Structures are given as C-alpha cells and as structure tokens.
A = this chain, B = another copy of it.
Amino acid sequence: MLTGQGCPATMLSIKDALEALEGKWKLLILFSPSSRPKRFRQVAKDVEGITDKILSKELKALEANQLVKREVFSTFPPTVEYSITPHGRSLEKVLAELHYWGLAHRKTIIGK
C-alpha cells in the first residue's frame, strides 16, 4: 500500500475511516463501554484527561456513525447508558495494528 502509488479508491476508504475516527479521543472512548454498557460518568473516568464537553461531543459523533449506542432507561431519575455496537467492535483489527505500531513508535521515537 505504501510501496506504490496510493490509488484513489484506497485513499477514499482511508479518508472515510479517518473521518469517522477523527481526533485522538474516539478510539480511546470506544474502549470504555467495550466490556459492558457504561454511564457517561464512568466513561469520563475511564478516558483519562478528557473534559465532559469534549466527551459529550465525541459520544454524539460515535453514535451518529453507529459505533456506540445510547440508551435511555425510564428510571427515576432517567439513566443513560452507552454500549459498543457490532460496527464499533469491527474496529478490533484497526486497534490491534495501532497498538503494535504505537509500541514500536514509543520505542523508536518517544523513547529516544
């Protein structure tokens, strides 16, 4: 892929992916409700360094792209839970490759 000229179709699909996952937060947020549905406050606690305002914005974007599902339960007061969708889980391989590359990057560049 990086050995020849990037073809327009490949660039389009990568652009699609990058637009859905834009920024440094979305993939990290996805980890939080991956084990079980979580409430906003729990997600905020799991994702170190994120502000409530940004988390709220990012969760909305993830919901729009059907990566997380937001459910409101009619308890008193109402409870809201976020869970990961099958489409969100399909990012597994992307995350695995980012993980391996991030390890190598830390060793090569950050660790220097």
Q: Which residues of A contact B (CB under 8 A)?
A: 1-6, 10-20, 22-24, 27-28, 30-32, 34-35, 46, 65-66, 84, 87-106, 108-110
Contact of A101 among B11, B17, B84, B100 (CB under 8 A): B17
Chain B contacts of A98 at CB under 8 A?
13-14, 17-18, 94
Q: Which residue of B lies closest to A49 (CB)?
A: B15
Given the interface contacts A2-B91, A100-B93, does A106 sit within 8 Å of B28 by beta carbon? no
Asked if A34 and B3 make an inter-chain contact with CB atoms under 8 angstroms apart, the answer reads yes
Task: List, in ascending order, chain B residues with CB within 8 A of A34's CB.
Answer: 2-6
Q: Which residue of B lies closest to A1 (CB)?
A: B95
